[in-house]
Every structure is written in C-alpha cells, then in structure tokens.
Amino acid sequence: MGCNMENFKHYIPTEIKFGKGVISQLPDVLNRFGKNILLTYGGGSIKKSGLYDEITGLLSSNSFIITECSGVEPNPRIETVERGAALCRENGIDAVLAVGGGSVIDCAKAIATGTFCEGDLWNMVLDSRSGRRSLPVIVILTLSATGSEFDNKGVISNISTKEKYSSVFSYPVVSFCDPTYTFSVPKYQTACGSADILSHAMEAYFSRTDSSEISDGLAETIMRTVIHDLPAVLENPDNYDARANLMWASSLACSGILDYGKLYPGKTCHAIGHEFSAVYDVTHGEILSILTPRWMRFILRKDPSVAPRFARFARNVWNLSGENEYQLAEESINCLEDFLGSIGIATNLTSLGIGSTDFDDIATHADLRGRCSNSYVPLTHEDVVQILNDCL
Amino acid sequence: MGCNMENFKHYIPTEIKFGKGVISQLPDVLNRFGKNILLTYGGGSIKKSGLYDEITGLLSSNSFIITECSGVEPNPRIETVERGAALCRENGIDAVLAVGGGSVIDCAKAIATGTFCEGDLWNMVLDSRSGRRSLPVIVILTLSATGSEFDNKGVISNISTKEKYSSVFSYPVVSFCDPTYTFSVPKYQTACGSADILSHAMEAYFSRTDSSEISDGLAETIMRTVIHDLPAVLENPDNYDARANLMWASSLACSGILDYGKLYPGKTCHAIGHEFSAVYDVTHGEILSILTPRWMRFILRKDPSVAPRFARFARNVWNLSGENEYQLAEESINCLEDFLGSIGIATNLTSLGIGSTDFDDIATHADLRGRCSNSYVPLTHEDVVQILNDCL
C-alpha cells in the first residue's frame, strides 16, 4: 500500500500549436507583442535545414526587425545569457523567439527575465522564483527532449564555478511544435533526447505513492511511446507519426504532470546528471542513460521493498510476466539496459573518456538540495559515489 | 493502419489547486480581482455538507461582499443565466465564484460572459466564440463529472425551444479541486458523474486515428481509473485516493486532451445525450450510460472494420485476451454493459419513463452539426432512431 495522494498544483498557461505547418501562424502571434524580435538559436543546424531562411523570410515579409543572438551552447552559459539580455536592452526588444531544443529555450527564458535585472545575472539565475518580469518568450521547437517548451524552467551553467542551476523563469507564451522540424535531427541527438524523455518519466514513476493512477498510467504511456517510436525514428527519420508522438511525449514528460499526487518524485539521476554536465561537456540525455540502470540496480539491492514498483514497470512497460517480483524487477532493468544499449549512444563513462576524478565533488553537489539523500530510496554520499563507479 | 496524426492546439490556462484543504488559498485568489463576489450554487447540498458555511465564513472574515445566485438547475437554463448576469451588473461584481459540479460551473461561465452582453442572452449562448469579455470565474468543485472546471465550455438549456447548446465562454482562472468535497455526493450522482468521464474517454478513443499513442494511452488510463475507482467509492464514499483519482480523471477527460491528434473524435453519444436532456430532465451521465453500449453494438455491426480498435479496448481496458478481434470487440461491449449495470443507475430508457415519442426530433437535432453523420462510423437519421429504439 502506498501513501495517500499528495496535493498538487497544475498551471501551464503555454499555448502549444502542434503539427505540420503551424509556423504560418507565427506572424500573428508575434504581432501581439511588437516588431522587435530577438532571434535566439544555437549553431548552424537551422541554417543547414532551411528553417533559418524560412523563419527570417516569414519575419522580414511581415515587417519584423530581427536582432540575432546565435551560438547558444548545448549547455547554455551565463555569458550567453548576459550577451542576449544586453542585446534586448540595447535594441528595445519586444519578444524573444527561441528556435531550437532545450538549451536554446532555456537560454531564451533566462535572457527574457535577465533583460529586466541589474548586475551579475548569475545572481538572477540563483534567485529562482516565479512571477518575475520577463519579455514574452515564443518557441519554435526543433528537438524532442527536455520539455522546456512547456515549462517555466531553465538550466544555466557557470563554467567558472563548475555549477549548473535549474532556475524558474516564465512560461513560453506560445510554442510551435512541428514534428517535421525534427526530421533532420541526427540519430545521436534524437536518441539522447528520447533518453531524456524516458528519464523524466522514470524519475516520476519511481515514487512511494502507489495511488496516483493517472500520473502512473501517463508515465507508462510515455515510456511505451519512447520504446516504440525511437527505434522507428532511428530507422526512418521522416516517420511523421513517430516524430510527433516523441515530440508531444517530451512536452508532457517534463512538464511536472507525471509527478502530480506523488511523494518525493526523486529526480536523483537528473540531479547527478546536471552536476556531470557542469563539469564535463556531456550530453544531458546520454549521461542520464548511463546513470539510470546503475541507479536502479543499486536502489533495488539497497531496498528490496521497491521490487513491486519495478515489477509493475516490468509488466506495464516491458510486457514481462511472472510471479517473482524481485526477479521481474531485475528483468525490467535488463530490458531497459538492452534498450539503451541499442540506440547508438554511450553506455558507460569510460567510453566518454570520463574517469573517477570528480566523482566526490559531483556527489557532493548533486545532493545540495537533498535530491539524493531525500529521494525514492535515500542515498548517502558513498552510495552516489558507488553508483558513479558502477558507470565506469 | 490509421491516418497520420492530426494537428492540434493545446491551451488551458486554468490553474488547478488540487487536494485536501486547498480552500485556504481562496481569499488570496479572490483578492486579485476585488471584493464583490457572486456566489453561484445549486440546491441545498452545499448547505447540508457544511461547505456553504465554510466558504461564506472564509469570505466574510476576509471582508468580501457576497451576492448570492442560488438554485442553478441540473441542466442550467437561460433564465438563470439572465438572472445571474443582472445580479452582476446591479452589484458591480468583480468575480463569479461557482461552487458545485458541471451545471453550476457552466452557468457561472455564461453569467460571467453574459454580464457584458446586451439583449437576449440566448443569442450570446448561440454566438459561441472564445476571447469574449468575461468576469473572472473561480471554481470550487464538488462533483467529478463534466470537467467544466478545466475547459471553456458551458452547456445551457432553452426549455422553450427544446434546445441545449454547448457554447464557448472563458476558462476558469483558478479551480479548487478538493476530493473531500465529493465524499458526500450520493451514490447515484457519483455513478452518473463517472459514467460521464467514461463516455468522454470512450468518445475520444473510438477514432480512425490509430497513431496518436499518448491520447490513446491516457484515455485507457482514465477508463481503467473509473472502472477501478468508481466501485471503490460506491463501497466506501470516503476513500480519498479513489475520489482524488476520479476528480483528476474528470478534469483531464473532458479537457480535449484525449482528442489531440485524432480525426473525427465523434462525440455521437454526447450529441444525442444533450438533445435528450433538452427534452427530458434526465441526468447527463445516466443517458450517456444507456446510449453508449447500444451505439457500440450498432457501429460494430454496421462497420466491422472498427473491430481492431474495439479489440484494443478489450485488451487494454478490460484485460481480455484472444485472437478473434470481432469476438473480443463484442466481449468488450459486454464488459462495459455489465459494468454500467452494476453501478446503480438506469440501464434503459423505459425504466426512466421515456418512450419513443421524441426519437425522430432528437435524431434530427443531434445531427445539426454533423455530429452523427460525420462521426467515427457515420450514422444516418434512421441509424440514430434505431439506436434510440435499442435503448428502450
């Protein structure tokens, strides 16, 4: 028996425009705010795919004035936030348009709030709270992964202090989610994004609350969707329905909806993973994919009372059957590991050239907000270091 | 193989405050808008349960001025909307507080928009569109059923013209969803509300689009939740977790989220059901519960190509197994009929004292917006009359 369902708050005022060709509505949306647009994006992928030309053409022919903030890093840095906020102030920007995946959107949110903040913007990142003044953020999503298009969070890195912080900014006003924009995402990024979706669903699912049936059922749906549609997309990158399901899965998985009613959703792997990418320039989804099965094996051994939840995971997500719940639990972790080993991303730290040098620091930072010691199965500092060693 | 996923728009800006005791946040929420509150409710049930005293006490001790609009009917009438709107204009109302289930919330939405409309408010109902000026609507939910706490629709009846119309108003700004407020809902209303949730999920689920996996998985989750938790609540009305799951299920089921990506969600039973309650004072969920299995049997026979979808319903919702999809489909309808026969509400029209007199009119009205002829399995006028005769 689990605990009673916990209270929760649902509030996501973002409008999602989902499907082929929704971009045609972009000028109408931007016209609500004004003509001066900060166009935020990463490297050259949107130029190669033609999306950059499509957007700038659409904006120019509708008399918008574009200021560019390009070169947002895969783990966006505070210096880029400073640069973007300065551009907004200098150019009287009316709205920030983010074209990209989670990193670009996170950075755009920080820029939009940072525009109205004085002094060192790293303090603005650390001073995480909702309701701060912000320019409107509009998103054109090109990667199904972090769900930043449908939440108010942004993760910003400070390389000089080796910190990576998830801060609360504002919700995007409108997010344009056209699955065809993800057709050109390379297999590696597609797989990393899906690993991130899967991790969000799993970290919500593994909780002490058994009775929050809708959160659990939706998490199972999202996990099955990734397991079904990621291989389909790796085989045929232009599979519209599979790309569409992954895209909507990413928005829902990371929105908090899967946590509703649940106690200690225990985002242990995300906590450790974020610290990792504060130290190394590793891809978020890849590090989660390495960590998760090791974390699962560790907590199952440390506290076998979690076996029934893993057995449910085995039955409802992996279609396994059997009576012995501990055995089912182990098989479910094998299935997950096999799946993650089949999608073309790293399965251990060694292959990424990462050794144990920083494990102690990473374990310390990961638990700063109790996200390891106060989680599904509480972990000590030594436990976290052990899990990291298991990842080598 | 189904069609490609359809485009969709998601936009539900309502904040849900969910769980035990959330009412304590009511004064803070109302203070955003002003001190003059229209308190809208139905009959005496909130007086009997003590909720009326709790709310008026909370408002009075926080210096709010309450104007009452009580006596909202189970199928709210245009005359009540006129009365409430007049009260808002005369008393300079700042916000409309709806305490009740779908009928009270629907009526409150119509009042909030009607306050700013001149002339016959039935024209305001028929002139269904979003973005109209409205007083803010705040909801305290007492019945898990129509999901009106999480959408912008309201169904208003015009007894003189035998019409019942679902119109677009504004979204509630905040909905307080405390499952303990449904502990005192009698078994009959609890069952009718759950039948409504189930119907919403089924009408979204039975669609030609096979590929919208998240909508389908969520619909299955909601159906399983009702099938599991309604009997639990009928046995023990104070079962918090079961009440909580039904409450969250109702908000999601009717929000449109289950339709995302799907072609012709085909709300045939809702279309017929609404016409029924425009003519007779029957409970919405009860009439849906009578109609749905007959509609299912009829369409399965008329177009056996829908059998695979029913077979999925059989496997994923009713835990049936077997190879013959048509047989599985029939068994799933038997299961549904058995379930609906076990929850203490009417299973045919005759037991409600309804004969065939108005079937022809009802079938005509139900199809006015093509909701029968342009649905999952297109139905002729004669088909609808036949289904109604099967319900006797």
ipTM value:
0.94
Residues of chain B with pLDDT > 70: what percent?
98
- Residues forming beta bridges with residue A16, ordered by sequence position: A175, B10
Evaluated on CA atoms B379, B382, B388, B392, the torsion sign reads negative
- Residues forming beta bridges with residue B77, ordered by sequence position: B157
Optimal mutation site among A139, A214, A321, interface B, most CBs of chain B within 10 A: A214
For residue B213, list chain A residues with Cβ-Cβ distance below 8 A. Answer: 221, 224-225, 228-229, 245
- Checking if the pLDDT of B153 tops 50, the result is yes
| Per-residue pLDDT band at B266 (split at 50, 70, 90) | low
Length of chain A: 392
CB B229 within 8 A of CB B242: yes
Phi, psi (degrees; rounded to nearest 5) at B168: -95, 125
Question: Which residue numbers of B have CB closer than 8 Å to A's CBs?
Answer: 4-13, 15-22, 211-214, 216-218, 220-222, 224-225, 228-229, 240-241, 244-245, 248-249, 252, 260-261
List every span in chain A annotated with CATH 3.40.50.1970.
Answer: 15-181
Task: Write down the pLDDT at residue A9.
Answer: 97
DSSP 3-state assignment of B391?
coil
List every span in chain B annotated with CATH 3.40.50.1970.
Answer: 21-177
List every span in chain A annotated with CATH 1.20.1090.10.
Answer: 186-390
Distance from CA of B278 to the nearest CA of A (A): 33
Give residue-wise pLDDT tens across range B222-259. 999 999 999 999 999 999 999 999 999 999 998 999 99
Task: Write down the pLDDT at residue A265.
Answer: 63
Q: In terms of Cα–Cα distance, which of A203, A179, A174 is closest to A265?
A: A203
Q: What angle do CA A37, A40, A46 make, to 5 degrees?
A: 115
Task: Write down the pLDDT at residue B1.
Answer: 44
Q: For residue A256, what is the DSSP state? A: S
Does B248 contact A241 at a Cβ distance shorter than 8 Å? no
Distance from CA of B31 to the nearest CA of A (A): 17
Phi, psi (degrees; rounded to nearest 5) at B278: -75, -25
Does B7 contact A22 at a Cβ distance shorter than 8 Å? yes
Q: Residue-wise pLDDT tens for chain A (392 aa)? A: 455 899 999 999 999 999 999 999 999 999 999 999 999 999 888 999 999 999 999 999 999 999 999 999 988 999 999 999 999 999 999 999 999 999 999 999 999 999 999 999 999 999 988 889 999 999 999 999 889 999 999 999 998 987 888 899 999 999 999 999 999 999 999 999 999 999 999 999 999 888 899 999 999 999 999 999 999 999 999 999 999 999 999 999 989 999 999 987 668 999 899 888 778 888 889 999 999 999 999 999 999 999 999 999 999 999 999 999 999 999 999 999 999 999 999 999 999 999 999 999 999 988 887 888 888 999 999 999 999 999 99
**SS3 per-residue string spanning B26-83:** HHHHHHCCCCEEEEECCCCHHHHHCHHHHHHHHHHCCCCEEEEECCCCCCCEHHHHHH
Distance from CA of B197 to the nearest CA of A (A): 13
Query: Which of B4, B8, B244 lies nearest to residue A261, judging by beta carbons?
Result: B244
Please tell me which residue, B274 or B82, carries the higher pLDDT value: B82
C-alpha distances in angstroms, B381 versus A233, B157, B163, B378?
Answer: 44, 23, 18, 10
Q: What angle do CA A126, A96, A32 make, to 5 degrees?
A: 125
Please tell me which residue, A209 or B302, carries the higher pLDDT value: B302
Following DSSP, what letter does each residue of A86-115 receive, concatenated? HHHHHHT--EEEEEESHHHHHHHHHHHHHT
- Residues forming beta bridges with residue B39, ordered by sequence position: B68, B97
Task: Write down the pLDDT at residue A162.
Answer: 79
- Checking if the pLDDT of B8 tops 50, the result is yes
Does B221 contact A214 at a Cβ distance shorter than 8 Å? yes
> CATH number of A15-181: 3.60.15.30, 3.40.50.1970, 2.60.320.10, 3.40.1800.10?
3.40.50.1970
Distance from CA of B388 to the nearest CA of A (A): 34
> CATH number of A186-390: 3.40.190.10, 3.40.50.2300, 2.100.10.30, 1.20.1090.10?
1.20.1090.10
Does B19 contact A11 at a Cβ distance shorter than 8 Å? no
Q: Give first-to-last CA distance, chain A, whole Å.
A: 36
Q: For B185-200, what is the mean pLDDT?
A: 95
Does A18 contact B260 at a Cβ distance shorter than 8 Å? yes
> CATH number of B21-177: 2.30.42.10, 3.20.20.80, 3.40.50.1970, 3.40.190.290?
3.40.50.1970
Task: Write down the pLDDT at residue A1.
Answer: 44
C-alpha distances in angstroms, B331 versus A107, A109, A298?
Answer: 53, 52, 44
For residue B248, list chain A residues with Cβ-Cβ distance below 8 A. Answer: 214, 260-261
Structure tokens at A94: 């009316």
For residue A15, list chain B residues with Cβ-Cβ distance below 8 A. Answer: 9-11
Q: In terms of Cα–Cα distance, which of A53, A49, A100 is closest to A74?
A: A100
Nearest CA in chain A to B223: A214
The CATH number given to B190-390 is: 1.20.1090.10
Does A244 contact B5 at a Cβ distance shorter than 8 Å? yes
List every span in chain B annotated with CATH 1.20.1090.10.
Answer: 190-390
The whole-angstrom distance between residue B35's C-alpha and the CA centroid of its chain comes to 30
Q: At what angle do helices B240-253 and A213-235 cross, to 10 degrees?
A: 50
C-alpha distances in angstroms, A277 versus A127, A325, B66, B87, B256?
Answer: 21, 35, 55, 59, 38
Task: Write down the pLDDT at residue B113.
Answer: 98
Nearest CA in chain A to B249: A214
CB B141 within 8 A of CB B181: yes
Interstrand relation of A163-168 and A137-141 (parallel, antiparallel or unpaired): unpaired
Nearest CA in chain B to A9: B17
- Checking if the pLDDT of B170 tops 50, the result is yes
Q: How far apart, in whole angstroms, are the C-alpha atoms of residue B378 and residue A143?
A: 38
